[in-house]
Structure 1
Amino acid sequence: MDLAKSIAGNLLDKEAVRVSIDPPFTWASGIKSPVYCDNRKMISFPVERALVIEGFKKVINEKGLEFDVIGGTATAAIPWAAFLAHELNMPMIYIRPEPKGHGAGKQIEGYLEPGQKVLIVEDLISTGGSSVKAAEAVRQEGECTVTDILAIVTWEIPKAISAFAEAGLNTYFLTDYTNIIGLASERGYIPVDQLNVVLKFKENPAEWGNAMGY
């Protein structure tokens, strides 16, 4: 089994990814979704956790990614950035969604030198907004370069693909919506007659719920 399917299988096995069409899940943004993903659950399973880190290393080597610091987005990606930084013996930072409202008002925690190149680690890429904000924070507050984002999962949403292109960011991931849903269907988690309904979600998440009558 290839890496994308192995990771997808682990996410389903540990119920980090769950599928429910009726009723669907509701994201914090209000979007109705047939799938919910919580990669934080995977930090509790050493074997599956190690496969993610090995996958990250494989992508880094195969794509020739070069960087000085690893940056995790708060809070879900912080453990993954820490695991990877430890494995590679490299510096790490983390990036808050917004600057602190007290103290020094920093959005970035850790040590950065101007001009360094930061690889941002994400657990999940959905609409891409939080990832782009993290990259911009590193560029502006840290005066550093960001060109690459490495994630466990991408939902393959067109809006995210466009947002990354506009921000000058390359994205790399271990598995994606298509692999996860395909494997979930093979395992019988999704009725055959509902597979296309679930796959259509990634095309236009904001309208999927309305189209389904939710």
Structure 2
Amino acid sequence: MALAFHLVTTTDPDLAADIDATCRLSGEFTLRSGQVSSEYFDKYLFEADPLLLARVAREMAQLLPTDTELLGGLEMGGIPIATAISQLIGMPALFVRKEAKKYGTCKLAEGPAYDGRRITLIEDVITTGGAVRDATNALRAGGAIVDTVVCAIDRSPEGVNPLADVGLEIRPVLTKAELDAVRSQG
């Protein structure tokens, strides 16, 4: 059964600017692709800032489907956000590993049982959706109902849902276009 929660809905008008100011770094950075960039977006900087994390959690909580039963925080960046949302609205969280651990309980997801329950995945940043896709498939194989992911930032190309192939709706707080607009204004 889904938990009922009441959240005052507001929009944080300065959130994009504050995330951009906190997370956009200048220097020389080697990206995952091997390319070298003079800019880097360090998403963990907003997650490590308790006040900024709380603001992101409030915005993400407003995007949750009303029939959500569990928050599925994805390793690693989705876990602190799912925890913050869980505390904010009183909904249980599930911590979803990239792969089931090979010792102890050998679980893919730590927390309450999820078979037959509706999970809304929580992720920090989505670009191609690979980790979200893998988690969706694994949780569905374990009996979960997964059809939505709420993320802090959607960096996928505008108008493209990289998770359409697994029937997942993406609900972002911010998009790459919104962050780029903040940067061009500053």
TM-score range, shorter chain: 0.7 to 0.9
In 1, the alpha carbon distance for the partners of 2:135 and 2:35 equals 22
Aligned to 1:121: 122
Q: Which runs of 5+ in 2 are unaligned?
A: 1-9
In 1, the alpha carbon distance for the partners of 2:71 and 2:15 equals 22
1:11 aligns with 2:12: no
1:57 aligns with 2:61: yes
In 1, the alpha carbon distance for the partners of 2:108 and 2:101 equals 6
In 2, the alpha carbon distance for the partners of 1:113 and 1:182 equals 39
Could you list the per-position Cα deviations for residues 62-100 of structure 1 after superposition, in whole angstroms to 9, with x for gaps in the alignment? xx4421000100111111000101111111111111121
Task: Please provide the CA RMSD for this pair.
Answer: 2.5
- Structure possessing the higher radius of gyration over alpha carbons: 1
Higher percent of residues as strand: 2
In 2, the alpha carbon distance for the partners of 1:104 and 1:152 equals 30
Q: Quote how far apart the aligned CAs of 1:38 are.
A: 2.5
Partner of 1:51, secondary structure, is helix
In 2, the alpha carbon distance for the partners of 1:170 and 1:46 equals 28
C-alpha distance 32-127 of structure 1, shift in aligned 2 (>3 A): farther
C-alpha distance 104-170 of structure 1, shift in aligned 2 (>3 A): same
Partner of 1:78, secondary structure, is helix
Identical amino acids, percent of aligned pairs: 23
Q: Which piece of structure 1 moves more, 39-48 or 131-140?
A: 39-48
Alignment-mate amino acid for residue 11 of structure 1: I
C-alpha distance 35-132 of structure 1, shift in aligned 2 (>3 A): farther
Q: Which runs of 5+ in 1 are unaligned?
A: 188-214
Contact 1:125-1:155 at 8 Å conserved across structures: yes
In 2, the alpha carbon distance for the partners of 1:29 and 1:109 equals 31
So what's the TM-score if we normalise by structure 1? 0.73
Contact 1:71-1:81 at 8 Å conserved across structures: yes
Partner of 1:127, secondary structure, is coil
Could you list the per-position Cα deviations for residues 177-212 of structure 1 after superposition, in whole angstroms to 9, with x for gaps in the alignment? 11111211221xxxxxxxxxxxxxxxxxxxxxxxxx
Q: Quote how far apart the aligned CAs of 1:105 are.
A: 2.6
Contact 2:120-2:148 at 8 Å conserved across structures: yes
Figure out how many residues of one structure are paired with residues of the other and give that number: 177
